[in-house]
Amino acid sequence: MNHCLRRYHTFALPVRARQVITVESLEDLSRAYQQVQRAKQPLLLLGEGSNTLFCEDFQGTILLIRLKGLQVEERAEAWHLRVAAGENWHQLVDYTIQQGMAGLENLALIPGSVGAAALQNIGAYGVEFKQFCRYVDLIDLQQGQPVRLPASACQFAYRDSLFKHLEHQRWVIVGVGLNIPKAWHPCLTYGELTPLSTPVVPQALFNTICAIRRAKLPDPLLLGNAGSFFKNPLITKHQLQDLLSRYPDLPYYPHSQRQVKVAAGWLIEQSGLKGCRIGDAAVHQQQALVLVNLGHATPQQVLALAKHIHQQIKQQFAISLEPEICLMGATGPLNPAEVLA
Ligand SMILES: Cc1cc2nc3c(=O)[nH]c(=O)nc-3n(C[C@H](O)[C@H](O)[C@H](O)COP(=O)(O)OP(=O)(O)OC[C@H]3O[C@@H](n4cnc5c(N)ncnc54)[C@H](O)[C@@H]3O)c2cc1C
């Protein structure tokens, strides 16, 4: 196990892999894939590792997707962007705002790559990636074929998409197509944004979002973490009524006709788990939804803490939290239900 993975993922755990290959072109991708096939090794695609928990050493090769490139086409009503998967998401948002193409500002400062932003359908402050997606470009590694999927075929949902469910080790997102309408409709519905005085300008909204995030979330460069560890759970309106009778302060948000989303961070805080620590893995003092590496955490400690939280929430609220983060085992993704059981 030659390669330490600490600097390739934001949790910064002491895990290793057999090999790490940087992919900067489609030729690199095809070469690396053939090499891995010949060696009969498991393969893992990695962007910036800001949504990945390595649960143990990875017994194979990691391809770091560093494909770069951005094309902008101006249309009458919108800008059409084609962005390579290895571009950094926040730098893209910053660039669009600088260039007067407003729209992505609520998604500022979300770490990670453009490719993973599509896979994860990232979201923040009432806005999701899917609202701007025109298409996703993939390569089928087995056939060597490019495929362009329109957004309507990507099955985007809350922190979910078709790409999370495709055959592992076969499909690579190589780029995305975005549509940024020229008519700008700022989204100020999220609590902390409502006090912004209107009319607001895109740069001010971008700056506000960045300031809120810097104040609220631990910087992975200083304190290892991968953002929200769990998704905000979806529950039925019937379950909500039951919970509200016991916890009238429970924060919840509309989701669909039948379901509402409740704040996982609130549930964890309510269970008295803020600051809870197992070894060097801890629940962040300010943000209960974020698990942090205080310095020398091991994957086992992070998993033990995640399991403990899962059990406590289940016991107290009869809600089964689902991880938002991708759990990676020795040869591929792990089943979260089995890991947390
Ligand atoms: C401090 C902090 C704050 C965060 N805040 C938010 C937030 O507000 N909203 C939000 O939605 N997320 C948030 N996240 C989570 C994270 O930033 C996003 O999920 C991001 O999209 C992950 O990008 P990445 O490149 O680091 O993904 P990685 O962790 O590298 O990869 C994630 C998954 O995608 C797969 N993958 C990566 N690239 C490709 C590709 N090109 N093709 C196919 N599969 C690929 C990987 O195999 C892995 O399974 C936060 C994380 C941190 C650390």
Cα–Cα distances in angstroms (integers) from residue 232 to residues 12, 38, 80, 127, 223, in the given order: 24, 42, 32, 15, 23
Does ligand 1 come within 6 angstroms of the Cβ of 86?
Answer: no
CA of 95 to the centre of ligand 1 (A): 20
pLDDT at site 191: 74
**Which residue has the CA at smallest separation from atom 47 of ligand 1?**
45
Structure tokens at 209: 């979002």
Question: What are the pLDDT digits (tens) for 62-85?
Answer: 999 999 999 999 999 999 999 999
Place of tokens 């359908």: 121
61 and 85 belong to one structural domain? no
304 and 329 belong to one structural domain? yes
Contact by Cβ (8 Å): 33, 41: no
> Has 322 been annotated as catalytic?
no
Cα–Cα distances in angstroms (integers) from residue 327 to residues 50, 110, 240, in the given order: 12, 19, 29
115 and 245 belong to one structural domain? no
pLDDT at site 168: 80
263 and 315 belong to one structural domain? yes
Structure tokens at 266: 């609130």
Does ligand 1 come within 6 angstroms of the Cβ of 51?
Answer: yes
DSSP code per residue over 276-329: -EETTEEE-SS-TTEEEE-SS--HHHHHHHHHHHHHHHHHHH-----BSSEEE-
- Measured CA to CA, the distance from residue 67 to residue 50 in angstroms comes to 17
Give the range of the structural domain holding residue 188, as residue numbers without chain letter.
70-214
pLDDT at site 254: 86
- The domain boundary residue, chosen from 214, 235, 256: 214
pLDDT at site 192: 78
What residues in the chain have per-residue pLDDT under 50? none
259 and 294 belong to one structural domain? yes
- The domain boundary residue, chosen from 30, 45, 65: 65
- Here the CATH number for the domain that contains residue 247 is 3.90.78.10
pLDDT at site 197: 67
pLDDT at site 167: 87
> Has 75 been annotated as catalytic?
no
pLDDT at site 334: 95
245 and 202 belong to one structural domain? no
114 and 56 belong to one structural domain? no
Number of compact structural domains in the chain:
3
Q: Select which of 50, 161, 228, 271 is catalytic.
A: 228
> Has 228 been annotated as catalytic?
yes
Report the DSSP beta bridge partners of residue 252.
Answer: 262
pLDDT at site 76: 97
- Measured CA to CA, the distance from residue 293 to residue 6 in angstroms comes to 12
pLDDT at site 341: 86
